[in-house]
Amino acid sequence: MARTAQTKTEQSAMLRSLFLLAGPTVIEQALQTVVQYADTAMVGQIGAQASAAVGLTITVTWLVNSPLFAMGVGVLALIAKSIGENDLEKARAASSQAVWIALALGLVMGAATLAASPFLPGWMGADPSLHRDASIYFAIICAPMLFRSFSIIFASVLRAVGDTKTPMVVNGVMNLCNIVLNQLFISSGQTFHILGFSVHIPGMGWGIAGAAIATAVSMCLGGTMIFAAALRHPLLNMRGRKLQLDKPVLSEIVRVGIPVTLNRVVTCMGQVVFTSLVAGLGTLATAAHSIALTAEEAFYVPGYGMQAATSTLSGNALGRRSEKELHQVVHASLVLAVSIMSLMALGLFLFPDRMMALFTPDREVVETGAVLLRMVAVSEPLFAVFIIFEGVFQGIGDTRGPFVCSTVCMWVVRVCLTFVCVRWLGMGLRAVWVCMIADNALRCFWLTARYFAGVWKARFHRS
């Protein structure tokens, strides 16, 4: 009886820890989704072609962000493990090495994306009418890559030390800035009638380029703010430290980060090919596909918010060499993520047309996208399980297995099956989304089986 009471107390404490860590991250990601919604809706008012041009760059942006998020995972895993071991000096050393990583990736990725931007739409097989707008949009949002690098990597640094509120606040400021600048830059001005008064808000009328400039300015602001917050954090104590390479610490970060980088790059390259196959179905299909992906994003925000908290607590459990604590983290995270995402999926299933109508007035695009959203809503609970187990493996630095899983699922299930359905069998967008859902389902079952097989346990018994 006493043991049962103790177990319940421990589970309650773990749930509280998850809520405290995950709450701000969920809000942060929700705010990011609101901005993505605002961007898509404002651009959607220009027309389906504008939506397609912006949507064409979404998966490539994920690809570009891959090394940044991956190295953020490497830094988070090392800092969380060090804190679990109560080795604060190593945690501070890891945060210092994050500066070098952010600088290197920001400069290299910035140069590469700007060089590729004129050719990107052609590489993806887009309709020639989309080339100019898509190229301009992609080039502008990639210009401040250095700031994006610092924003992503140092948000992970702060989360690793349990500070999820600062990234939330910074992203809130970024998102507010983005929405205000969208209004000023995209349209030529709008008049609002409120309580008998007419209020005119001026605009520059820059269209797609205006949306990109708003995003770029917001990114510069966010990168500056998040790095300044990391410098001031008392646990990291980065001010006054000599900025020099620490090869053992850097190699440990890279050892965890490289498989995650490969995972994300391979997955996102698959997404790019996947999107190019959709682009071959025409402008209407591309617009419906990209808008439906954006609409779905809000419904898995809680899962990714939980993932960040799960990674941090899993790394702490590894530092304390406590398998029991890891099991508690997994159980609590799965219960919360699956419950919340299942409830949200019900809303997506019941009101998909209303979600699509938020982003475009085009009736045909709305009707096509609504069918896709209803299909994917059924798979959201499986997606929640995959997200949590991915976070667990990232937190304990076991990143090779998930890399193999993502590679096989993306390229064999999603890309190859989509190619067969579209190019050989002449099937349409619904078949494409069936392949995407099958990919997510297989990832869920694969990582679940891997966790219960216990291949990760060796990490808890190393000296």
pLDDT in tens, 317-365: 888 888 988 999 999 899 989 998 999 899 999 999 998 988 788 899 9
Q: How far is CA 284 from CA 36, 135, 281, 287, 457, in A?
A: 20, 19, 8, 5, 49
- Domain coverage including residue 272: 2-461
Q: What is the mean pLDDT of residues 432-437?
A: 94
pLDDT at 463 over 50: no
Nearest-angstrom CA–CA distance, 432 and 450: 27
pLDDT at 313 over 70: yes
Give the predicted TM-score (pTM) of the model: 0.76
Confidence grade of residue 198 (pLDDT, cut at 50, 70, 90) = low
Kindly state the helix (H) or strand (E) to which residue 192 belongs, with its residue range: strand 189-194
Q: Exposure pattern of 183-214 as b/e (b: 16+ CB <10 Å)? A: bbbbbeeeeeeeeeeeeeeebeebbbbbbbbb
More confident residue, 3 or 163: 163
| Average pLDDT of the residues of the chain | 83
pLDDT at 449 over 90: yes
Q: Give the three-state DSSP class for 105.
A: helix
Kindly state the helix (H) or strand (E) to which residue 190 belongs, with its residue range: strand 189-194
Q: What is the mean pLDDT of residues 237-242?
A: 64
Work out the percent of the chain whose per-residue pLDDT is above 90.
30
pLDDT at 133 over 90: no
Lowest mean pLDDT of 19-23, 88-92, 445-449, name the range: 19-23
Are 306 and 371 in contact, with CB atoms under 8 Å apart?
A: no
Q: What is the 3-state secondary structure (H, E, C) of 305-358?
A: HHHHHHHHHHHHHHHCCCHHHHHHHHHHHHHHHHHHHHHHHHHHHHCHHHHHHC
More confident residue, 247 or 45: 247
Domains held by the chain: number: 1
Task: Kindly report the backbone phi and psi dihedral angles of residue 194, in degrees, each rounded to the nearest multiple of 5, phi listed first.
Answer: -130, 120
Q: What is the mean pLDDT of residues 396-421?
A: 91
